[in-house]
């Protein structure tokens, strides 16, 4: 057989670890206020449909946060498969994937910065998988932070990686 350009052999095979697909969304429409201790969805969301149940989905997010409280805040990902037939909160149930507390510079005003985190997921499906960035306050009451603000970009990328051979 002819060697494929992707490192595999033949016309349809793929070498393990090869990037099979890439999805991207860059937007400035992400303003969502979080005031709850329950996970609150942002507007930062993107879907991908894995080509194989062995595929790994590498999710990368970068988003603007405007803190309005010194309470702890968790940031995570919600995964919905097949339009929400199966929904899971990824990362730690309390702190998510990334966590801040007593944000540096907070003095009864607002602290603004970009958050970034990465997640490798093994969804074991060939159905559409939608990832939504979410957040929650650790305790207290009132507004804790905003996802985004006018003209502040948010980015979410999903790379589908061939997971054959146990990668």
Q: What is the pLDDT of residue 16?
A: 62
Q: What is the pLDDT of residue 89?
A: 93
Q: What is the pLDDT of residue 25?
A: 92
Q: What is the pLDDT of residue 4?
A: 46
Written as tens digits, the pLDDT of the chain (167 aa) is: 334 444 444 445 556 678 999 999 988 776 888 888 899 999 999 999 999 999 999 999 998 887 776 677 889 999 999 987 889 999 888 888 887 765 545 445 566 778 899 999 999 999 999 999 999 888 777 667 888 776 788 999 999 999 875 55
- Both structure tokens of 81: 């498969």
Q: What is the pLDDT of residue 133?
A: 93
Question: What is the C-alpha to C-alpha distance for residues 150 and 49, in angstroms, rounded to an integer?
Answer: 30
Strand partners of residue 146: 33, 66
**Secondary structure (DSSP) of 111-135:** EEEEEEEEEEE----SS-EEEEEEE
Q: What is the pLDDT of residue 114?
A: 80
Angle 89-22-30 from CA coordinates, rounded to 5°: 55
- Both structure tokens of 142: 């009132």
Cβ atoms < 10 Å from Cβ of 163:
20
Question: What is the C-alpha to C-alpha distance for residues 129 and 157, in angstroms, rounded to an integer?
Answer: 13
């Amino acid at each position: 057989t002819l060697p494929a350009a992707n490192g595999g052999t033949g016309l349809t095979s793929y070498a393990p670890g090869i990037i099979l697909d890439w999805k991207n969304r860059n937007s400035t429409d992400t303003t969502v206020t979080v005031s709850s201790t329950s996970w609150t969805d942002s507007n930062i969301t993107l879907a991908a449909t894995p080509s194989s149940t062995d595929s790994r989905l590498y999710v990368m997010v970068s988003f603007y946060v405007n803190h309005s409280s010194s309470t702890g805040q968790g940031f995570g990902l919600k995964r919905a498969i097949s339009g929400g037939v199966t929904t899971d909160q990824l990362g730690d149930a309390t702190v998510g994937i990334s966590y801040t507390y007593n944000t540096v510079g907070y003095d009864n005003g607002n602290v603004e910065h970009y958050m970034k985190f990465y997640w490798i997921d093994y969804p074991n499906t060939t159905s559409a998988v939608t990832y939504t960035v979410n957040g929650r306050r650790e305790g207290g009451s009132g507004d804790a932070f905003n996802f985004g603000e006018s003209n502040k970009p948010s980015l979410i990328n999903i790379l589908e990686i061939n997971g054959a051979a146990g990668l």
